[in-house]
Amino acid sequence: MSFQAPKGTFDWIPPRSERVLAVREALAAPVRRAGYGYVETPVFEDTALFVRGVGESTDVVSKEMYTFTDKGGRSITLRPEGTASVVRAVLQHGLHNGQLPVKLWYSGSQFRYERAQKGRYRHFWQVGAEAIGAEDPALDAELILLAADGYAALGLTGVRLLLNTLGCKECRPRYRAALQEFLRGLDLDEPTRARIEINPLRVLDDKRPEVQAQLAGAPLVVDHLCEACKAYHEEVRELLTAAGAAFTDDPRLVRGLDYYTRTTFEFVHDGLGSQSAVGGGGRYDGLSEMIGGPALPSVGWALGVDRTLLAMEAEGLLAEEAIGERVQVYGVPLGEEARRRMFLLVTELRRAGLTADMSFGGKGLKGAMKGAGRSGARYALVLGERDLAAQAVQLKDLTTAEQTEVPLAEVADILKGKFS
């Protein structure tokens, strides 16, 4: 083979690819029911949008972006996440000038230049939802519940919800300073020491045991929250509890993107190898201003489509994917004349609303019948010279092997009757 998919990317092929469609639909259904409108933005944007929106200090921006210069000399970046684009679209089209919040959802590809491993690829898919322009704990709770409903609809039972708050521009700086002071006293490697100065919160997220051991006594955000943030977070927690959503408070939960404030959450699953997050999000009250817009306190999430599929696989929810009905009816023509007639018949069936396929490539009867079996079709239509002469076709039930002759003119109606 001379070509293969670029490093860190992969193809969805049947029958698994069908599950991808189903997962996207299931994850999007709850937000659609909640009145979120669909938005589609370009797969690439002005590089500066991500640098300013996502944050220069993040790994995503500093080393994981697919950036290139286009023929017009513009710096372009394949989107590493969806939120910045959606907020940009809202600002560009003035959607925030109407009633707030603006509720939008999206589904599409994201790109990050990372070293691939299980559950982490350079090209991946997310379904996302954003509620833009309102500061209301009920909105945070709504989104969290909608995501949880999506996972539940897929039959997932092992998804856990982790919840935290990062404070706001009032209380975060004080916490940040306290954390930095603590971290500077630890024995850490050079990249981590640098991170203390740039984005100290993310040091809490380090998974290395030797680092975690030293973090035992680290100051936590919850102990430094201002009154407003404390009340806000408490309200989110109460709403979730009232709605029956189970969650775990995780004071160490930190997001990798700079724009997060207050509520942050992550949906985690144990079946993804060393990755754990199947979805995550939070409040981003300052993002709009960072990219030149007015103050638009907002909240949103992104759920990983391929990671969700891995989680389903880990729970054995993909087991029965081997067998599947591709079509309902399969045509088996014998000879050139019958092939032409069958082509018309199959077309007629499809226009009548049935799903139908036929044998191509001039196979013999045996090969064509094999094709019928593999298609998962309930019925095979066998058409040969004798049938053409009689203006009839053999209708075979592939589950019982029963075969009856029916007039060509009536096949469509008869089959429609059988499937209604």
With CB under 7 A as the contact rule, which of the stretches 160-168, 288-296, 345-353, 365-373 interacts with RNA? 365-373
What is the footprint of RNA within residues 289-348 (CB under 7 A)? 302-304, 306-307, 334
- Return the closest-CA partner of residue 147 out of 246, 237, 280: 280
26 interacts with RNA by CB under 7 A: no
Q: Are 101 and 322 in contact (CB under 8 A)?
A: no
The binder of RNA chosen from 74, 169, 184, 386 (CB under 7 A): 386
State in angstroms the smallest separation of the CB of 182 from RNA: 17
Q: Taking the CA atoms of the chain, what radius of gyration do you get in angstroms? A: 28
Residue 262 among known ligand-binding residues = no
Our CB check for RNA shows the closer of 195 and 233 to be 195
For RNA, which residue of 120, 172, 233, 237 counts as binding (CB under 7 A)?
A: 120
Binding residue for RNA, selected from 25, 46, 59, 136, defined by CB under 7 A: 59
Q: Tell the smallest beta-carbon distance from residue 362 to RNA (Å).
A: 9
Taking CB under 7 A as the rule, does residue 207 contact RNA? Answer: yes
Residue 355 near RNA by CB under 7 A = no
Q: How far apart are the two ends of the chain, measured CA to CA in Å? A: 46
Judged by CB under 7 A, the residue of 37, 42, 294, 373 near RNA is 373
What does the buried/exposed string (b/e) look like for 194-232 if buried means 16 or more CB atoms within 10 Å of the residue's CB? ebbeebbbbbbbbeeeebeebeeebbebeebbbeebeeb
Q: Is 355 part of any known ligand binding site? A: no
> What is the closest distance, in whole angstroms, from the C-beta atom of residue 301 to RNA in the complex?
8
Which residues share a beta bridge with 279? 267, 303
Structure token digits, residue 88? 């940009």
Listed in sequence order, the residues at least 6 apart from 348 whose beta carbon sits closer than 8 Å to its beta carbon are 412
Contact residues for 43 (Cβ-Cβ < 8 A; gap 6+): 78, 79, 108, 109, 111
Query: What is the CB-side half-sphere exposure of residue 212 using CA atoms within 13 A?
Result: 6
Which residue lies nearer to RNA by CB, 7 or 184? 7
User: What is the token pair recorded at 394?
Assistant: 């053999």
78 vs 369, which CB is nearer to RNA? 369
Q: Is 24 annotated as a binding residue?
A: no
With beta carbons less than 8 A apart as the criterion, state whether 80 and 65 touch.
yes
Q: How many residues bind RNA (CB under 7 A)?
A: 75
Binding RNA by CB under 7 A: which of 116, 152, 194, 344? Answer: 116
List the binding residues.
Answer: 81-83, 112, 126, 130, 255, 259-260
Binding-site entries for L-histidine: 81-83, 112, 126, 130, 255, 259-260
